């Protein structure tokens, strides 16, 4: 768990998603604008299904990693999620996805989530997330 001060001065805690985050994740998704929802899935998806939620909160910390951002003082609200899923056909590559709630957009949260995911991915032997090539450590 890490506390991060965003560009605006607001603070969030970033931590691993948990299986019991399903209701908070669903609520966060329902609060996104239609544009943010479309940008996340590149398709019209008005709501998350139960299967979607189950997949999104079921991570193994190796091939599927997800982080959530929660505002300090509002622990029941998720305002950002970042994740990667390792590609089975190329274990040194992963798909990256980040979504930030509209009220936290353009505040550095997306960049912070990507940086933290890149660090974890590099430690797990992933060299490329989407089009983001990761530099070897050391």
Report how far residue 86's alpha carbon sits from residue 92's, in angstroms, rounded to the nearest whole number: 7
Lowest mean pLDDT among 15-19, 34-38, 47-51, 61-65: 34-38
Question: What is the pLDDT at residue 130?
Answer: 81
How many helices (DSSP H) and strands (DSSP E) are in the chain?
A: 4, 7
pLDDT for 64 beyond 50: yes
pLDDT tier at 120 (50, 70, 90 boundaries)?
Answer: very high
Distances (CA, A) of 138 to 113, 115, 122: 22, 17, 11
Report how far residue 100's alpha carbon sits from residue 69's, in angstroms, rounded to the nearest whole number: 9
The two tokens of residue 36 are 């943010």
Question: What is the pLDDT at residue 135?
Answer: 59
| 36 vs 83 pLDDT, higher one | 83
Domains and CATH numbers, the chain: 2-133 (3.40.630.30)
Q: Is the pTM of this model over 0.85?
A: yes
Question: What is the pLDDT at residue 138?
Answer: 47
Report how far residue 5's alpha carbon sits from residue 137's, in angstroms, rounded to the nearest whole number: 25
- For residues 48, 25, 41, 112, the Cα torsion angle rounded to the nearest 10 degrees is 180
Question: What is the pLDDT at residue 43?
Answer: 77
């Amino acid at each position: 768990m890490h506390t991060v001060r965003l560009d605006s001065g607001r603070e969030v805690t970033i931590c691993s998603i948990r299986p019991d985050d399903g209701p908070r994740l669903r609520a966060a998704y329902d609060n996104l604008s239609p544009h943010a929802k479309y940008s996340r899935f590149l398709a019209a998806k008005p709501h998350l299904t139960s299967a979607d939620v189950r997949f999104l909160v079921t991570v193994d910390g190796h091939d599927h990693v997800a982080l959530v951002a929660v505002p300090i003082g509002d622990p029941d609200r998720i305002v950002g999620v970042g994740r990667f899923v390792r590609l089975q056909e190329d274990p040194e590559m992963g798909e990256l996805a980040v979504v930030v709630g509209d009220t936290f957009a353009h505040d550095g949260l997306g960049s912070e989530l990507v940086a933290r995911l890149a660090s974890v991915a590099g430690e797990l032997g992933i060299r490329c997330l989407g089009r983001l090539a990761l530099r070897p450590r050391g």
